[in-house]
Amino acid sequence: MSIMKFETISVEKHDRVLLVSWNRPSKLNAFNGLFFKEWVDLLEAVNKDTSIGAIVCTGKGKAFSSGADINDFAAASKGNNEVKEFWERYQPIAFEAKRMVASKPIIGAINGLALGAGLTCTFWFDFNIASTEAKFSMRFSKLGLTPELDSSWLLPKIIGLQNAKKMMLTGDMYTAKEALGLGLIVEIYEPDKLVESAIKIASKVAENPNDTLKIIKKMTFQDMTTNNIEEIATRSIDNFAHARKSIEHKEALLALRDKRKPQFHNQKHMDALKNYKK
């Protein structure tokens, strides 16, 4: 993909990884209406681009994101039609389940403050790492608000029911070390190593076949949202059987035999395999 230009987001290509930085540092990367539109546009473009295998998401400046931009929302409420359209059209869908499940894998690199929606959006990422300087808060209760972005469902699944209730009901601030202990993040890095480390991890993800990653994300979500063990078992059997017949699995076996790296993303090579009979 040709690198898209946005006002609220900056992007950099690192081989098969796209580094996405939320770019409103003077506003602590608060989400305004335009951000929601640009995030939707970005994900749609990335999903169509086979040269991108994974996304790293971080924030410019001191904050990851301080959540919704209250002043921008107020402008929409007072009759700014363009801003109002952004909020009404794009905010409800920017981090909706079907969009996030269908996206390329996203690794959050939480560099600083992650508050409110600036935290709950990361629950939809595939996993998150953080800087030693990161801080986290489900501050909704302190503002007389309830958790959004499906977070009252997601958070208990990530850190357990009682930990989630404590986090939501108190609105307390948590350190990176505390977040790691809860399972909210999986690793901690010094600030100057965070993005570099996230890109390295994302590169390992992006080496794998796009279609395989897409199926794994989808089946994981489907299994999370059903209590029917027979449905889960059937899906597991069907997906595995389909994968065994795939061109990607054929390439993986040939690479093992030939003691080389798989060429999943060499389209000419993969096309030639379709007629390979051995």
Domain of residue 162, residue span: 9-206
CA end-to-end distance (rounded Å), the chain: 35
| Position 271 pLDDT exceeds 70 | yes
Check residue 182 and give its pLDDT. Answer: 98
Question: What is the domain count for the chain?
Answer: 2
What CATH number is attached to the domain comprising 229? 1.10.12
Check residue 38 and give its pLDDT. Answer: 96
Percent composition of the chain: helix, strand, coil (DSSP 3-state, to 5): 55, 15, 30
What CATH number is attached to the domain comprising 169? 3.90.226.10
Same domain (yes/no): 29, 146: yes
Same domain (yes/no): 97, 66: yes
Give dist(CA 269, CA 253) in Å, integer. Answer: 14
pTM of the model: 0.94
Give dist(CA 191, CA 155) in Å, integer. Answer: 25
Same domain (yes/no): 181, 224: no
| Position 235 pLDDT exceeds 70 | yes
